[in-house]
Structure 1
């Protein structure tokens, strides 16, 4: 017999409450609007598919800016089928590919920007790692790295030779689903090691991998982050709001509280200096946070913060841990079906 008040019982009640709530909506999470050869994290939606998705939102939902949505949530009056569009990281294609389409369909969006990458030549670290490890060619069969004082070893075996056929097969593969022994799995293993490291140590390890792979660092133009002047242009008009996404895009829970506070506050201050507008929204890199992180975000002067938890938003949702659904490279029809599933989840 289930006892009312037990954890499972309470979770079941909350699920029913969410399904029946009339005041609910959802936030969508994008990263890039671009066409690339390989996309291990499903970060890219092509401009064609993005246009189809925005047309679906225009016709079948109630698009709101994040600011409007948060106010409606606090008022307990979220419009029916309310949807918010957000982007994480601050890729330049958010301006050059996404904004014209948003303008075409008159759909507001928030772009969360990691300020440490603004105007820099080097790519986001996960893209840099992809360029080093997921390009056709041969790598040494063994790799050893000193990670925070601990020596880590990898033996690539057959994955040392990455053929054009392998590369082509991996074009739509997801890193976290890679088969052990494959080059994609090797990439994922290194990514997991780099993820919790502070930026300085991560940069050091990336340089060591660069030397090990006998590669030349080439910053790909279509992978770059926004320039300061581009960020200002992106913020012009009333359609795109700029939000903060830390300085170095760290795994916040791995940092001391003081460093977390710097990452959160400095990104807000720097963005406000560039765009000369208040920055009132925040997004946790990788969705990672602790109770202390959430409180630091509140006290930094933000009005809301977004996570990466896939769920709808209803009256009990925390404005500083707003869930979001990640959008993949679906055509308009696939996206419409997914939107319907989310609203009825």
Structure 2
């Protein structure tokens, strides 16, 4: 009944907003595309008409002061910091007057380098190597010819990488860049992050930014000193570039394996107000876990009917595809 009455806080999770590409031509990770520009405009118009869109800081202020949230509260969030957030999402949000919170990996904004997971997919799709050899993952596979088969292989690699530590992940990616001569330093515009000038322009227009770590590393896999660097250095960089403000965290990857109590404690001790997971669900004000907030992932094949139903009845709706990007709150390991 609670979902029908819309009393739970719904936090929408987006990554990229781009025209939906042809999978046989597109050379990057399709799973990161949340919707098309037209679809995004339709979705934002819908929540503007039927819900109460808020920034995450507005939610934190309500919690801190003991105020009730609106019964139809919705927060729009973005992870990573791709430059289509600036070129596509920002103009639509500003035109419609919908607030949003953008979680960025500050190291990628600093360097302009692509995200390692996206670049890994790109390399597997582009390489002429006859085999994929990753002994750290127990993989020695012939490189398939078809684009769909290569995407499936890349998905297998990404899933297995989540079980390794962050240093191993980085070393594997850099080794493949060298062996296959596909350096990320010369990445095409299709996979580039925003610049700090773009971030500052959005911030000046009233859009808030939070941390997605420094290098988008899975925080639970890091030793304590590197975990603290990812959390605290990203905080310090955001404050240096944007000035002092209430800050929030989105755990990179964000599933059940991506954060634990140690990560939560480090995030809280660094002064972050709220933190988002990538576990599917809504948030009741009665048992609000401010350092493990559930979100509803928006996927590229989700039409407006499915989008509306997900917001109205999130506990009853699944996703129209079995994408790898989300985990579900019903998993018994999701009680952070």
TM-score category (smaller protein): 0.7 to 0.9
The answer to whether the aligner puts 1:48 opposite 2:15 as a matched pair is: no
Task: Tell me if the contact between 1:115 and 1:267 (Cα under 8 Å) persists in the aligned partners.
Answer: yes
Aligned to 2:14: 30
Aligned-pair distance for 1:332?
A: 2.8
Unaligned runs of 5+ in 2: 318-336
Q: Tell me, in whole angstroms, the C-alpha distance in 2 between the residues paired with 1:55 and 1:21.
A: 21
Instruction: Give the distance between the partners of 1:85 and 1:226, measured in 2 at CA.
Output: 18
Q: Spell out the pairing of 1:1-345 with structure 2 (5 A cutoff).
A: 19=3, 23-35=7-19, 36=21, 37=26, 39-74=29-64, 75=66, 77-135=68-126, 138-140=128-130, 142-147=131-136, 152-156=138-142, 159-162=143-146, 167=147, 170=148, 182-195=149-162, 201-213=168-180, 215=182, 217=184, 218-238=186-206, 240-287=207-254, 288-314=258-284, 315-329=286-300, 330-342=302-314
Partner secondary structure for residue 259 of structure 2: coil
Displacement of 1:139 in angstroms is 3.4
Aligned to 1:176: none
Shift >6 Å, 4+ stretches = none
Cα separation, 1, equivalents of 2:197 and 2:32: 28
Q: Is the 8 A contact 1:139 1:161 kept in 2?
A: no
- Under a length normalisation based on structure 2, what TM-score does the superposition of the two structures give? 0.82
Q: Deviations over 1:263-321 (max 9, x none)?
A: 10110001110112324111111112111111111111111111112111112121111
Kept in 2: contact 1:28–1:326 (CA 8 A): yes
Q: 1:178 is matched with which residue?
A: none
1:338 to partner: Cα distance: 2.4
How far, CA to CA, are the matches of 1:224 and 1:278 in structure 2?
26
Kept in 1, the 8 Å contact 2:106–2:213? The answer is yes
Distance 2:311 2:260 in 1: 29
Q: Is the 8 A contact 1:31 1:91 kept in 2?
A: yes
Secondary structure at 1:308 match in 2: strand
Aligned length, in residue pairs? 304
Instruction: Output the CA distance in 2 between the equivalents of 1:73 and 1:23.
Output: 15
Q: Is the 8 A contact 1:243 1:282 kept in 2?
A: yes
The root-mean-square deviation of aligned C-alpha atoms, in Å, is 2.5
The 1:19/1:160 distance shift into structure 2, 3 A limit, reads closer
Change (3 A) 1:80 1:133: same
Q: Distance in 2 between matches of 1:264 and 1:119?
A: 16
Highest Rg: 1 or 2? 1
2:311, 2:172 → 1: CA distance? 40
275 and 101 in structure 1: CA distance in 2 versus 1, 3 angstrom threshold? same
Matched position secondary structure for 1:285 = coil
Unmatched tracts of structure 1, length 5 or more: 1-15, 171-181
Asked if the contact 2:15/2:32 (under 8 Å) is kept, the reply is no
Q: Does the 8 Å contact 1:110/1:241 carry over to 2?
A: yes
- Residue 125 of structure 1 and its aligned partner are, at CA, apart by 0.7
Change (3 A) 1:229 1:92: same
Structure 1 Cα separation of the partners of residues 183 and 29 of structure 2? 21
